[in-house]
Chain A
Amino acid sequence: MTDPTHTAATASSGTPFLQVRDLTVSFHTDDGVVHAVDKLSFSVERGRTLGIVGESGSGKSVTSLAVMGLHRRGRRVSIAGEIRLDGEDLVTAPAERVRGLRGRRMAMIFQDPLSSMHPQFTVGDQIVEAYRVHNRVSKAAARRRATELLDLVGIPEPARRLDDYPHQFSGGMRQRAMIAMAVSCNPELLIADEPTTALDVTVQAQILDLMRELQKEFNSAIIIITHELGVVAEISHDILVMYAGQAMEYGGVEEVFASAEHPYTWGLLQSITRLDRQLETTLRTIPGSPPSLINVPPGCPFHPRCTYRERAGSATSTTRPPLAETSPGHLVACHLPVAERRRLLREEVIPTL
């Protein structure tokens, strides 16, 4: 493993299908420059799932939209770094080239299927459209394909439901239809931005199952963006913890869940609601709130909220900690000494989980 940021925990052969290196996305607003994503690196291979977690405003969605090329480039948005899809850099590629990849080789599922589907076109028409942008087929053939897709994602009577409008579908059905639309061209990369947040808990599990099945079928790389660690545990192979547009911790899901080393990750783990937790313990929260991305704190962006900042030395408020390997494939950006982190995890964090 020459460059640990490439492959993280996924020790396998070949170059990853998606490789993001030092991605930086800034928005130039009247109030100042918003550093939404700051030197972020990660990669996903085909057949594997990366979960990106973090609070609202940590840059998760901005990252996914950058990969999809959905930020309107111009005076207000600047994107730097590398986004390599199957080796091809999307940051420097012409917009028309990226458009041709969108929907075909990489597709996206959005959070709220009701607002993300067009209210004035039938579900069938929307899937047919997604398929026909990239495939020169007749309308009838595309319609047959749309029926197959609805069937694939588990919508009963697909041929009849094709002519329904999104508002005639239930929330879970809509998200299934949204997924059908996204996978219509067999994309090799599928990005799901909070795909289950707007859904009932029972439906959430079904949608995650569906995504897992589709991954098996198409061998696609999946990025799932969520603020729920439970979803990540359920479906992901790797996890990337983001805070203030930066990577805090990155590694295999089992490794990170068992031996997280970043105080922010600890905070996220502690704030999971669990039925088996004793009733008298109140739900733990991370003190404070995420920083403004216009004035990101110097040093470690998390240090103003970090319980252990005293032990990390003065560097924590002046120098940005590098994302460094703490064990093979497990990367952490923290100024605390490794031994201290492991001791804190063992003695102070694990007992509270």
Chain B
Amino acid sequence: MARFILGRLIGGIVILWLVSVLAFVLFFVVPKALGNNPAVLFAGRSPDPATIAGVTKKLGLDRSYVDQYWDFLRGVFVGRHFDSGSNRSWCPAPCLGYSFRNDQPVWSEIVDALPVTASLSIGAAVLFLVVGVSTGVFSAVRRGGLFDRIAAAVSLAGVSLPVYFTGLLLLLLVSYKWHIIDNVHYVDFTHNPALWAWNLIPAWLVLSLLYTANYQRLTRASMIETLGEDYVRTARAKGLRERTVIGKHALRPALTPIVTIFGLDLGVLFGGAILTEHTFGFRGLGAISIDAVNTQDLPVTMGVTLFAAFFIILANVLVDVTYAFIDPRVRPS
């Protein structure tokens, strides 16, 4: 088992490295090849040639691509110096460079945004997983019944309605019409847990509505399949209570595909829920990345990309490991 996990981890690291190479090529090599000097973007509005030269030297853009990539990689692990001759700065590990826009370390921007994204995604994930799976199970057990049909309709609405519609509608109601939560904004968990949750509720609802539908349908389909399996009939033949038959014997194998999708969804959510963050005015990773893209802030874009890739790959490794725990048949002997 340890070897299996180690293998998956190594595989994950290799993929992350490949992503970093690809991101580097995409954000630093390609623009330059197309004639966009990254130094100009950093130097501010209508810079003079001397400034551009200084920036180029500071960012090491005059060096070969391989050296530049090496500097970047070293920065991540041991930190790096930025030296333009006149001013010298030390960027401690993990160094992802400085934002072109506000000269802040990319790492600290990401670290500041992470709690917002984490709060949003974990809360929403718990909600859509619990609601989606439980309604899916109910639908499967009483398929064709009233609950199943209502759930199917709500599901369809859930996947079809865009977040910026449901989000704004919800904000309009709870904030402007009923004044239940005035001025929705992000409150740090350590500052006030109650306010933290209270302000996040609308965003959780909106974000999870989108996913709940998928989980409801997936669970329903998966449960219908396992409920027809021979081992479920065996469980009934033992005289087990229907609750045990459904909740243990049928649900457990039905969860396998759900764990897979859940891991991937959670990984993607950690990369930033752009629309939801934007709708509610939260400064999470999604908001940062969209700003970075809009302002051609290459180091931030690259940092956020790598961060998102890291979470998706981590989620994949966790899914594989969880999978082996759930299903003994894929467990390496």
Residue numbers of A with Cβ under 8 A of B are 68, 70, 99-104, 107-108, 110, 112, 115-120, 122, 129-130, 133-134, 165, 167, 178, 181-182
Q: Which residues of B contact A112 (CB under 8 A)?
A: 230
With the chains together, A115 CA to B253 CA distance in Å? 13
Given A119-B327, A119-B328, A165-B328, decide whether A110 and B239 contact each other with a Cβ distance below 8 A: no
Cα A339 to Cα B181 with chains together (Å) = 93
- Residues A116 and B233 in contact in the complex (CB < 8 Å), given A100-B239, A102-B238, A130-B238: yes
Contact B229 A115 (CB under 8 A): yes
> How many chain B residues touch A (Cβ–Cβ < 8 Å)?
20
Across the interface, name the chain B residue whose C-beta is closest to A100.
Answer: B239
Measured CA separation A116–B232 after assembly (Å): 8
Residue of B234, B236, B241 with highest tally of chain A CB at under 10 A:
B234
B329 within 8 A of A: yes
Q: Which of B203-260 contact A (CB under 8 A)?
A: 229-231, 233-242, 249, 252-253
Q: For A103, list chain B residues within 8 Å (CB).
A: 237-240
B237's partner among A68, A122, A165 (CB-CB below 8 A) is A68
The A-contacting residues of B in range 287-333, CB under 8 angstroms, are: 326-329
Chain B interface (Cβ within 8 Å of chain A)? 229-231, 233-242, 249, 252-253, 326-329
Q: Lowest 6 A-B CB distances belong to which pairs?
A: A103-B239, A102-B239, A115-B230, A103-B238, A118-B231, A116-B230
Q: Are A118 and B234 in contact (CB under 8 A)?
A: yes
Q: Which residue of A lies closest to B253 (CB)?
A: A120
Chain A's closest residue to B237 (CB) is: A108
| Distance, CA A155 to CA B21, complexed state (A) | 56
Distance of A70 Cα from B238 Cα, bound (Å)? 11
Q: List 28 A-B contacts (CB under 8 A).
A: A99-B239, A99-B241, A101-B239, A102-B236, A102-B239, A107-B237, A107-B238, A110-B230, A110-B234, A110-B237, A112-B230, A115-B231, A116-B230, A118-B231, A118-B235, A118-B249, A118-B253, A119-B327, A120-B252, A120-B253, A120-B326, A120-B328, A129-B238, A133-B241, A165-B328, A165-B329, A181-B234, A181-B238
Across the interface, which residues of B come within 8 angstroms of A115, CB to CB?
229-231
Collect the chain B residues with CB atoms within 8 Å of residue A104's CB: 239
Q: Are A116's CB and B234's CB within 8 A?
A: yes
